[in-house]
Amino acid sequence: MTGFQTSFLRERPRVAVIGGGISGLSAAHRLGNDFPVTVFEAEQRLGGHSSTVIVNTPVGEQPIDTGFIVFNDRNYPNFSALLDEIGARHVPSNMSFSVSDLDGRYEYAGSSPNALYATRRNLVRPAFHRMVGDLVRFNNDAKRLVVAGDVDDDTSLRDFLDAGGYSKEFIEKLIVPQVSAVWSADPAQLYSFPARIVFEFFNNHGILELRGRPKWQTIRGGSATYVAKLRAATNAEFHTGTAVEAVRRGEQGVAIKLSDGAEVIFDEVIFATHSDQALDLLVDSTVDEQQVLGAIPYQRNDVVLHSDESLLPRRRAARASWNYHLLDQPRERTTVTYWMNNLQPIAGDQNYMVTLNLTDQIDPASVIKHQSFSHPVFTREGLAAQRRHAEISGVNRTHFCGAYWRWGFHEDGAWSGLRVARMIADAHRESQVAATA
Ligand SMILES: Cc1cc2nc3c(=O)[nH]c(=O)nc-3n(C[C@H](O)[C@H](O)[C@H](O)COP(=O)(O)OP(=O)(O)OC[C@H]3O[C@@H](n4cnc5c(N)ncnc54)[C@H](O)[C@@H]3O)c2cc1C
């Protein structure tokens, strides 16, 4: 049974959107003027990974983002168009990357020669020079393979690095930290991470080039500002603080059980949650849904906003916007500190940081907000599952969106929300034409 057989012939289908992150909001925004849309969000606030904390700083209250922070002028076409449409303003940000250990023995950043050799001992270490040389080689090799379309999904990053004879220092202290930080992924998992995702993402984002890199931006007033504008510009009914507990599909509609015990019926449902959450909600999940959604798991990360500067590299020259921490004992999680003053316009001298998965190293007195966000874990099986979207979405009154359908970033959420919205609108139009023919 397709989702459009009964409901679309009747009237405009009533659409439920489960999840009020960028994916659900972009779908609701696109559909809201043409269909009756209701958004259910478990949290009291909309935005999901768009999370802004109003911090009481020495120079007054200031917004600081703890989730989504930056986007750029090249790789975020759908998200940028949405911002333009709703009139959300943005300002330049700064993207730079550092790697350091916790006791200050090893620190470097990529922003300048002085930052690269911030630990002066590295000037005379051949292994460090080889690491830098390997970066140039990696960029050239990756670019060549992407341009030639010559990377299959079976090649892991580990396979590629082994075959290329890359040095231990390049692997452990440069490329694994960088990929781990970009995808908030367990550094150990990166050995099975598909090389294709890394190459294509790095190539699209200009990371393989020294010149012509995209210009990074951050939302003026914090990401909550765009979320508020998007809500105001969306013709939908919003229920925040309302978790969906179960979803069952039937001939007459989709039954949605809410946290207050109520059951509501819709014609179509859009899952804009994470893949594992969507699967948990489906009491009548099909084998295809179990296979596809189950192939893209999520991993939980501890996220702390604080003012403890000891989480930044000790040498000022080595401080960057994104600071990756090397650990003697890996934690099966990425360990990175975002230096928010470098990423967002924060007035005053006080430094603010957002640190992932190193909560025990942060002075408890400096902690402002402690949160937990989950990120998708990408594997070869996950890439294959992404290609099966049409097998489970647009079928049986059910549609799936979320950043996990592509690379896991904000643009991917916006793109995936628009993809399901377009499908619903197109299918409705076609059913109208068929009914009047
Ligand atoms: C710390 C951090 C930093 C990041 N930085 C960047 C960045 O700088 N640039 C970038 O492009 N990307 C960044 N990302 C990634 C990006 O922000 C996310 O991938 C994207 O926002 C995810 O959007 P989403 O709509 O798929 O999921 P989410 O934003 O997670 O939204 C899912 C929503 O579903 C709701 N939900 C779940 N279950 C239920 C239920 N049962 N009933 C009702 N509602 C439910 C959740 O509460 C949530 O609001 C970052 C992510 C994090 C965590």
Q: Under 8 Å CB-to-CB from 175, ≥6 apart: which residues? A: 135, 138, 157, 161, 166
For the stretch 196-246, pLDDT in tens is 889 988 888 877 766 668 899 999 999 999 999 999 999 999 999 999 999
Q: Which residue has the tokens 């620190």?
A: 107
Q: Do 165 and 97 belong to one domain?
A: yes
Cβ-based burial of 406 (10 A; exposed 0-12, middle 13-18, buried ≥19)? middle
Instruction: Tell the residue nearest (CA) to atom 22 of ligand 1.
Output: 403
For the stretch 85-112, pLDDT in tens is 999 999 999 999 999 999 999 999 999 9
Q: Do 344 and 397 belong to one domain?
A: no
Q: Do 135 and 35 belong to one domain?
A: no
Q: Do 360 and 255 belong to one domain?
A: no
Please spell the DSSP secondary structure of 96-154, one letter per residue: -EEEEETTSSSEEESSSHHHHTSSGGGGG-HHHHHHHHHHHHHHHHHHHHHHHT---TT
- Average pLDDT over all residues of the chain: 93
Q: CA–CA separation, 216 vs 95, rounded Å?
A: 7
For the stretch 63-85, pLDDT in tens is 999 999 999 988 999 999 999 99
Ligand 1, residues at Cβ distance < 6 Å: 18-24, 40-43, 48-49, 67-71, 243-244, 272-273, 277, 281, 303, 373, 402-403, 408-410, 413
Q: Do 265 and 138 belong to one domain?
A: no
Structural domain harbouring 211: 90-218+298-376
| Tally of CB atoms within 10 A around 100 | 28
Q: Do 321 and 198 belong to one domain?
A: yes
Q: Which atom of ligand 1 is the closest one to the Cα of 417?
A: 25
Q: Do 276 and 391 belong to one domain?
A: yes
Q: Do 168 and 210 belong to one domain?
A: yes
- Quote the pLDDT of residue 191: 80
Assign residue 372 the CATH number of its domain: 3.90.660
Domain boundary among 324, 352, 376: 376
Q: How many distinct structural domains can be found in the chain?
A: 2
pLDDT beyond 70 at 9: no
Q: Which of 307, 302, 312 is nearest to 100 (CA)?
A: 312
- Check if the beta carbon of residue 254 is closer than 8 Å to that of residue 267: yes
Q: Do 112 and 214 belong to one domain?
A: yes
Q: Which atom of ligand 1 is the closest one to the Cα of 76?
A: 11
In a domain, 66, yes or no: no
| Distance from residue 431's CA to the centre of ligand 1 (Å) | 33
- pTM value? 0.94
* Among 46, 337, 343, 409, residue to substitute to test ligand 1 (most atoms within 8 Å of Cβ): 409
In a domain, 65, yes or no: no
Q: Do 385 and 429 belong to one domain?
A: yes
- Quote the pLDDT of residue 10: 53
Q: Is 389 helix (H, G, I), strand (E, B) or coil?
A: helix
Domain boundary among 338, 353, 376: 376
Please spell the DSSP secondary structure of 227-275, one letter per residue: HHHHHHT--SEEETT--EEEEEE-SS-EEEEETTS-EEEESEEEE-S-H
pLDDT beyond 70 at 2: no
In a domain, 310, yes or no: yes
In a domain, 70, yes or no: no
Q: CA–CA separation, 62 vs 211, rounded Å?
A: 34
In a domain, 60, yes or no: no
Pairing of strands 254-258, 244-249: antiparallel
- Bigger pLDDT: 433 or 51? 51
Q: CA–CA separation, 278 vs 294, rounded Å?
A: 10
- Quote the pLDDT of residue 7: 46
Residue 87's alpha-carbon distances to 83, 93, 229, 413, in angstroms, are 6, 19, 8, 19
In a domain, 80, yes or no: no
Phi, psi of 327 (to 5 degrees): -120, 145
Q: CA–CA separation, 329 vs 325, rounded Å?
A: 11
Assign residue 420 the CATH number of its domain: 3.50.50.60
Q: Do 212 and 124 belong to one domain?
A: yes
In a domain, 79, yes or no: no
Domain boundary among 353, 376, 399: 376
Instruction: Tell the residue nearest (CA) to atom 50 of ligand 1.
Output: 68
In a domain, 271, yes or no: yes
Q: CA–CA separation, 268 vs 255, rounded Å?
A: 10
Q: Do 274 and 392 belong to one domain?
A: yes
Q: Under 8 Å CB-to-CB from 101, ≥6 apart: which residues? A: 107, 325, 326, 327, 328
Beta-strand ranges (E) seen in 327-411 are 336-339, 353-356, 367-376, 398-400
For the stretch 297-313, pLDDT in tens is 999 999 999 999 999 99
* Among 18, 22, 29, 49, residue to substitute to test ligand 1 (most atoms within 8 Å of Cβ): 49
Cβ-based burial of 58 (10 A; exposed 0-12, middle 13-18, buried ≥19)? exposed
